[in-house]
Amino acid sequence: MARQRKKTDTPQNANPNNAYIEGAGLVVEQRITDTLRKNFMPYAMSAIVSRALPEIDGFKPSHRKLLYTMYQMGLLNGARTKSANVVGQTMRLNPHGDAAIYETMVRMARGNESLLHPYVDSKGNFGKVYSKNMAYAAPRYTEVKLEAIAAELFRDIDKETVDFVPNYDNTTKEPTLLPATFPSVLVNANVGIAVSMASNVCPFNLAEVCETTIAYIKNPNHDLLSTLKGPDFPTGGFLLYDEAALQQIYDTGRGSIKLRAKWHYDKAANCIEVTQIPYSTTVEAIMDKITELVKSSKIREISYMRDETDINGLKLAIDLKRGVDPDKLMVKLFRMTPLQDTVSCNFNILIAGTPCVLGIRELLEEWVAFRTECIRRRVYYDLHKKMDKLHLLEGLEQILLDIDKAIRIVRETEEESEVVSNLMVGFGIDAVQAEYVAEIKLRHLNREYILNRTKEIEQLRLDIADMEAILKDVKRIRAIMIDELKAVAKKYGQPRKTLFYDKTDEVETAEQDDVPDYPVHLFLSAEGYFKKITPQSLRMSGEQKYKEGDTLSQTMTATNHTELLFFTDRQQVYKARASVFDDTKASVLGDYVPVKLGFDESEKVGYLVAVPESYEGFMLFCYENGKLAKVPLQAYATKTNRKKLANAYSGKSPLVCMLYCTEDCHVMLRSSQSRMLIFNTAMILPKTTRDSIGVQVMTLRGKAVLADAAIVTDEQLATYAKYVAKNIPVTGGMAKDMEVIGQMTL
């Protein structure tokens, strides 16, 4: 809570020009949560409902206001006009500024290529969706009108098919939704970021959407994937056909899809030409990433790169060095650059003012319900128009009985105001019919005219009966909807731009192939500092540098591609390639492994293993209770690229030592009571479970614990033959003299 000081203004010292308000200036205590709820929630709701999220017609308010303004300006059939004119007129409905309105127009324009089916026919420079540096021209230079498909958005909008509300200053009215005759919400991409939520609707092919909607109307359990093959993006490219991922998107409205660029190899020029890229990236982003990889020597096959985009469309040219395999290079580029990218889907749509994440089936259900209501309101409007016309013609029909009488009544009526009432009495018609008859021109008061008009009565009665039947039968309404969808698909449908590729088309290459391989020396200190030094650098280096109190723990030779296992004191193992660490010198401290690999808090490195390619050998874990576990190194191999494995060894007894052995060997154990034994690891059976508690090797007496362990060489074995055990478990012999094996002092 916050307390503010109290003001002391009184009626005497208050401003005499202003009225004094009792209690003005007092600030009361209020919970900060209440203040946030009161002040921030209206903004959040406004951003969600009135700005950022699309509705069931497929448009945000800014899109709808702009398109409706262009419709009102007669730009559906008329000539183009300057964009600045449209922007100015749109500000009557959208007060957010001309720049924001023009940016909205740019994205919907054909020239920008953001939408599969643009709604704005443009002339001039509108930039490109695939380029962040290709800026659009100012609105005074460009011209626009509505595309032909926009007519489907406004079909029968003047027949009260949707609700209208006052604009922000109550000077005109605007529609709350557009009565689109096709599911435009699925046809064109729509991205919005609100408060605490967002929306990202990917586009689908218009013909496939219409076909799927028709199939859904006929059978709500229709298999969507059989007709709606997958998203279709205006920038083309290829989409990974992953049926499980697509099914998840169709079912939940959330998920991701993988896109990759379209390319071909020009053998004569030894050049790769990229002509279509993923919708989620730009040419500049791709070029920047490739440049970065070339500078870091992670890609060595490229000699030059240039953007050759022109009036014919996008083209990114990549010149190759002699002898380079373009297919293998593209596999690397797909993995390391935005030439292959992932697009996230989040079908968050406003339904009756409430944000809802919908799958395709639920979304089609909502759209069909919306469109059903539009058709019903249109039929209801037409019905009443025909009923009104029938009513007038029935009154006109009465005059047919005696035209002379009608003329006489009008002629003999002294006052004009009494003409209608006299006609009502004379022919038994109501005021509306009498008013209509009274307004007929004198030249039309002949039998031919009246007969021609009254011929429509029978047809009107048939039409009214048919419309009343439509309103009572939802199947008739659905049939009308299906006919409209077929017409839209036939007139505006186009082939897919985004084609599919299968998982089997992906050529997998090992990631380490992108990194040069060379011999290295590895050093790990007791405190967890790691160094990777090349042989050349090591020969030129002086003494190894460590932190004060730190010492060398392990050293070994390997290559830059070698996989490393870092065992920790928390029964976990972290996996990394040697290439992850930078080459360094002996004169620096090196990389701190817990930070580099993201260890848990206070977790420390216990042991390092340089893994051979075949994962041969085993780990030997020695515990204080005298038990040892022999775990094959293969138990730490994973099919996926996992960075961390839990339960690397048992934690039931404190770990004394861990050893990596490439094959069975002799190991010496020493207890805290100075007893020692040597045994061959072949006596222990390997355990496939990593956290096995092991088997008893050394029998401990009293409060004795296992103190240390070390591998024994053949030379050392001959010297300490008296400690070799023929069976296990055993107590071991007393070590009377100081004897040293490796790092073990006895």
Task: From 682, 691, 689, select the one nearest 658 (Cα to Cα).
Answer: 691
Q: How many residues does the structure list for the chain?
A: 746
* Start-end of H helices in 443-553: 447-454, 456-472, 474-492, 535-540
Say if residues 222 and 216 touch (Cβ distance below 8 Å): yes
Alpha-carbon distance of 10 to 648, in angstroms, equals 76
* Start-end of H helices in 337-473: 360-400, 403-412, 419-427, 431-438, 447-454, 456-472
Say if residues 357 and 253 touch (Cβ distance below 8 Å): yes
**Residue 84, number of CB atoms within 10 A of its CB:** 16
Tokens of 161: 């098919």
DSSP 3-state of 659: strand
Note the Cα 70 to chain centre separation in Å: 31
Alpha-carbon distance of 117 to 675, in angstroms, equals 84
Say if residues 382 and 442 touch (Cβ distance below 8 Å): no
Task: From 56, 183, 250, 158, select the one nearest 485 (Cα to Cα).
Answer: 183
Alpha-carbon distance of 219 to 202, in angstroms, equals 24
- Burial string for 499-509 (b: 16+ CB within 10 Å, else e) reads beeeeeeeeee
Query: Could you tell me how many helices (H) and strands (E) the chain has, helices first?
Result: 19, 35
315: Cβ–Cβ under 8 A, 6 or more apart, which residues? 273, 274, 275, 307, 308, 309
Which is the catalytic residue, given 20, 71, 136, 141?
A: 141
The most distant pair of C-alpha atoms in the chain lies apart, rounded to whole Å, by 148
Tokens of 526: 């007791």
- Burial string for 558-586 (b: 16+ CB within 10 Å, else e) reads bebbbbbbbbbeebbbbbbbbbebeebbb
Tokens of 533: 């030094």
Task: From 725, 701, 723, select the one nearest 626 (Cα to Cα).
Answer: 701
Tokens of 178: 């557009």
**Rounded to whole angstroms, what are the CA distances from 152 to 74, 329, 569?**
15, 46, 67
Task: From 508, 510, 513, 534, select the one nearest 523 (Cα to Cα).
Answer: 534
The helix (run of H) or strand (run of E) holding residue 249 is: helix 243-252
Task: From 292, 290, 286, 288, select the one nearest 338 (Cα to Cα).
Answer: 286
DSSP 3-state of 8: coil
Alpha-carbon distance of 675 to 669, in angstroms, equals 8
Alpha-carbon distance of 395 to 424, in angstroms, equals 10
**DSSP percent split of the chain into helix, strand, coil, nearest 5:** 35, 25, 40
Provide the CB-side half-sphere exposure for 453 (13 A, CA): 22
Alpha-carbon distance of 147 to 149, in angstroms, equals 5
The helix (run of H) or strand (run of E) holding residue 656 is: strand 655-661
Say if residues 299 and 287 touch (Cβ distance below 8 Å): no
Q: Is 141 a catalytic residue?
A: yes
Say if residues 272 and 326 touch (Cβ distance below 8 Å): yes
Please identify every residue annotated as catalytic.
141
